[in-house]
Structure 1
Amino acid sequence: MMVMNRSSLDGFFDPSYLENILGNFTQATGLRIEAVNYRGETFSIPGSLDRSPFCQCIRNNPQGNKRCIDSYKRATSEAVKWDEPYFFRCHAGLVIWAVPILSKDITLGSIICGQVLLWKPDRFFIQELQDISKGLKIDPEELNQAVPNLSIISADQAQAAANLLFVVVSHILKNNLRALEEEKAYKVLQQQLHDQILKRKKGPRRTDISYESILKDERRFLQYIRLGDKSRAFATLENLIIKIYTKSTGEPQLAKDRIVELAALTSRAAVEGGSDAEQAVTILSSFYKKLENMERVEEIIYFIKQIVDEFLENIFILADKKHLSLVKDARSFILHNHAQPLTIADAAQHLFISPSHLSRLFRQQLDCTFNDYLTRVRVEKAVELLKKPEFSVKDVALAVGFQNQSHFAKVFRKYIGVTPLVYRNSLF
């Protein structure tokens, strides 16, 4: 059973979704939960578990009910403060934990769970009940009779349940916030489209949209996709979508058909631009499945923007992989040729790219210049050779690519901290 009152949490949770997910948690664990606002007031009780006879006895007393609410309020505040489950003993001696409900740093409340004992009732607990009964003017025998119905679980079970509930609540918030953001985006997009239509209707006839202008924008858009030019692709897409929507006013199916066609063309252009073909097909298939449940043109436009963004990201990811591959090949070339007089032009020619491009890749991927990396390789190789007594310092310098022994000594000291000779002497 679910009791729902209007509160500040309206709009953040779909009541049926809350009931379904948290109800399943209750059914799986046998633990009763309540959703409370930041004042400690219960606004929802997911699942089919009523309060225990013990808690009902306390809650039926006005002062006891107030103490319960105050306990929940303090627990909610602590849970929100630490952004994690907060364990506490309520004023009646039961173990409870509160899981925070936070949305973008806004305190919404908490999920209260537990109302259990972690041990069998002992004489200290019974004495506490006597004191509670006196303070609330409740018949002590009524409380004593309700004690055997209290659930007793281990501390490990309580902690595991709290951790699981924390994950569940986070999942609910994430899903609902995403839905809210999407709905907000739909409304903004709808307003933008309607404003454009009104603007064109009020303008001169020469602003009427032709299919020729739509196809021209489409070709430009696909070109930017192939080039991986994200900013221009989205700028052109915005204009293209407005034209498609405006041209098909009164015929929503026509707008849908054109956007679906555009999605397919975008997929092919993304592959031509370097996106992985298999992944592009997967993205497009996912779009088509979502399309089956979409009724509003605004929804379709929202998702076409999303898949365009995903296609472009895949192009960049693949480009990054290509860059990493080029840097890997350049490093391999240096390792095999460090003993020779080597320049960035030599490596670039080997890789069939420009020296400036290779220089940028080294700075982006390795945070150093080509010469820095070459020097580091030569010094590391020199360290290995200096361990062999049959090689003189001069022999080592020449073997790793230094043409001048004094220069070798200066560079070696910069990287190792001592001259090659001092380093050699320290080994033997």
Structure 2
Amino acid sequence: MSNKSIESFIDPSYLEEVLGSFSKATGLHIEAVNRKGETLAILGNKKRNDFCQFIRSNSKGEKKCLASYKEATLEAAKWNEPYFFRCHAGIVIWAVPIILDNVFLGSIICGQILLWKPDEFFLRDLKKSNAKDLDYDILQEKVKSVSICSPEQSQAAADMLFVVVNHIVKRNIHKLEEENAYRLESLKIKADLENRKKKKSNLEFTDYGTYLKKERRFLSYIRLGDKTRAENYLMILLTDLLTKTAGDIATIKIRILELASLSSRAAVEGGADAEQAMSILKDFNDEVDRIDRVEEFFVKVHKVIATFLDGIFKLADKKHLSLVTNARNFIIENYHKPITIKATADHLFISPSHLSRLFRLELDCTFNDYLTRVRVEKAVELLKKPEFSVEQVSKAVGFKSQSYFAEIFRKYIGVTPLIYKNSLF
């Protein structure tokens, strides 16, 4: 990255838009220069004044200007703040460094002003340093074109420019991070496809029926707040979607919007705040409308679903977060067994009363509420398989009584297990 230039990392049109406006607002001349002091662009409509143009009309004067810019640019980078200097012709200029990701790219040169009207001392120095190469009478006349700016005004302009340049840099750091995220997302998809080829399973995704089955399982993981499994299944869904659509942007956008909407509702069912979830979903939908890259779709949906999951578990204490997460994982892995809060607490080396408090405090439900929710979610999956009867499903998910299973299932799903199963076949 150290060999990169400003143009490689900062959008020239945005640079012109922001700094061009700064130039128009202040009436100051602004240039973007590289590490060598070479001018890359004059920003805004403020050209070099007649005096500076005349100085640069001579090759020796041009070299001296370049040397001044280079020295100022390096000094500004050294201190990472605006650097004021007088060029060889006595003009006041300041440089604001452009440092992106700890790499010095160049600077923004501003000014070409005088702090007071040219006096006899200024003119004497001017003649001494430039009269050999340029007509001194013309220099005296041209210097009248240089704007006068007080020290206070100059310092204020330099401070404001420093803020503006830092804004531009931070914006581009964010863009770089986004590009890296898109690149990583693309690599993940390619890796998933390669793994499928090696396993020779699920290589070709041919129907949406298969996709929707995976989607339902993914949503169940969101309702349970199982972040790891939800994220793993999301990756599978996105790879399937890319394969099925052959990368068609319009279709992918529709499916992504659907997935985000379903995920928001699943998160609310899992305990997330409904108002907050709907607000997040609205922002996501507005953002997706402006996207035209597959990788960007996938990165954004990863982020919004992670936000939904975070909304289910708003845990401030990391120790509590770890305990609740481990308890939840223990339940998911052992729901089919006659597990109790005591067995789970013993597994975590804490007291049952402490675990009970954590569930109520952090998940807003009891231990048994969460265990029941997991069992019902698993029952829904098994009831979709014709080879399992309601009685078998009841036992498989940990219910000792089929009648109690039917009562609980109806409470959560709205119908009895038998009616639900009959509606599927």
Same fold (TM over 0.5): yes
Residue 98 (structure 1) aligned with residue 102 (structure 2): no
In the alignment, the residues of structure 2 paired with residue 314 and residue 165 of structure 1 have an alpha-carbon distance, to the nearest angstrom, of 40
Structure 2 length-normalised TM: 0.68
* Alpha-carbon offset, residue 358 of structure 1: 6.6
Residue 259 of structure 1: aligned partner: 256
How is 1:1-80 mapped onto 2 (pairs within 5 angstroms)?
8-80=5-77
The amino acid across from 1:24 in the alignment is S
Are 1:197 and 1:246, in contact at CA under 8 Å, matched by a contact in 2? Answer: no
Worse-superposed segment, 213-222 or 201-210: 201-210
How is 1:88-167 mapped onto 2 (pairs within 5 angstroms)?
88-134=85-131, 136-167=132-163
Residue 319 of structure 1: aligned partner: 315
In the alignment, the residues of structure 2 paired with residue 127 and residue 139 of structure 1 have an alpha-carbon distance, to the nearest angstrom, of 14
Residue 287 of structure 1: aligned partner: 284
Structure 1 length-normalised TM: 0.68
Are 1:214 and 1:240, in contact at CA under 8 Å, matched by a contact in 2? Answer: yes
Residue 294 of structure 2: aligned partner: 297
In the alignment, the residues of structure 1 paired with residue 156 and residue 211 of structure 2 have an alpha-carbon distance, to the nearest angstrom, of 58
In the alignment, the residues of structure 2 paired with residue 20 and residue 356 of structure 1 have an alpha-carbon distance, to the nearest angstrom, of 57
Are 2:96 and 2:108, in contact at CA under 8 Å, matched by a contact in 1? Answer: yes
In the alignment, the residues of structure 2 paired with residue 15 and residue 216 of structure 1 have an alpha-carbon distance, to the nearest angstrom, of 47
Residue 354 of structure 1: aligned partner: 353
How is 1:405-424 mapped onto 2 (pairs within 5 angstroms)?
none
Are 2:35 and 2:70, in contact at CA under 8 Å, matched by a contact in 1? Answer: yes
Residue 82 (structure 1) aligned with residue 110 (structure 2): no
In the alignment, the residues of structure 2 paired with residue 111 and residue 44 of structure 1 have an alpha-carbon distance, to the nearest angstrom, of 10
The amino acid across from 2:39 in the alignment is T
* Alignment length (residue pairs): 326
CA displacement, residues 375-396 of structure 1 (integer Å, 9 cap, x when unaligned): xxxxxxxxxxxxxxxxxxxxxx
In the alignment, the residues of structure 2 paired with residue 200 and residue 356 of structure 1 have an alpha-carbon distance, to the nearest angstrom, of 40
The gaps in structure 2 that reach 5 residues or longer are 321-351, 360-425
Are 1:79 and 1:98, in contact at CA under 8 Å, matched by a contact in 2? Answer: yes
The amino acid across from 1:159 in the alignment is Q
In the alignment, the residues of structure 2 paired with residue 133 and residue 246 of structure 1 have an alpha-carbon distance, to the nearest angstrom, of 70
Change in 2 beyond 3 A, CA 1:149/1:289 = same
Residue 182 of structure 1: aligned partner: 178
In the alignment, the residues of structure 2 paired with residue 263 and residue 228 of structure 1 have an alpha-carbon distance, to the nearest angstrom, of 15
Task: Name the SS of the counterpart of 2:31 in structure 1.
Answer: strand
The amino acid across from 1:247 in the alignment is K
CA displacement, residues 340-368 of structure 1 (integer Å, 9 cap, x when unaligned): xxxxxxxxxxxxx93367799xxxxxxxx
Are 2:249 and 2:292, in contact at CA under 8 Å, matched by a contact in 1? Answer: no
The amino acid across from 1:280 in the alignment is A
Task: Name the SS of the counterpart of 1:219 in structure 2.
Answer: helix
In the alignment, the residues of structure 1 paired with residue 271 and residue 358 of structure 2 have an alpha-carbon distance, to the nearest angstrom, of 22
In the alignment, the residues of structure 1 paired with residue 236 and residue 94 of structure 2 have an alpha-carbon distance, to the nearest angstrom, of 52
Output the aligned Cα RMSD. 3.2
* Alpha-carbon offset, residue 304 of structure 1: 0.7
Task: Name the SS of the counterpart of 2:315 in structure 1.
Answer: helix
The gaps in structure 1 that reach 5 residues or longer are 1-6, 325-352, 361-428
* Alpha-carbon offset, residue 31 of structure 1: 0.4
Change in 2 beyond 3 A, CA 1:24/1:250 = closer
Residue 164 of structure 2: aligned partner: 168
Worse-superposed segment, 98-107 or 297-306: 297-306
* Alpha-carbon offset, residue 309 of structure 1: 2.8
Residue 231 of structure 2: aligned partner: 234
In the alignment, the residues of structure 1 paired with residue 129 and residue 356 of structure 2 have an alpha-carbon distance, to the nearest angstrom, of 78
Residue 390 of structure 2: aligned partner: none
Are 1:274 and 1:319, in contact at CA under 8 Å, matched by a contact in 2? Answer: no
Change in 2 beyond 3 A, CA 1:230/1:116 = farther
Using the aligned pairs only, state the percent identity: 50
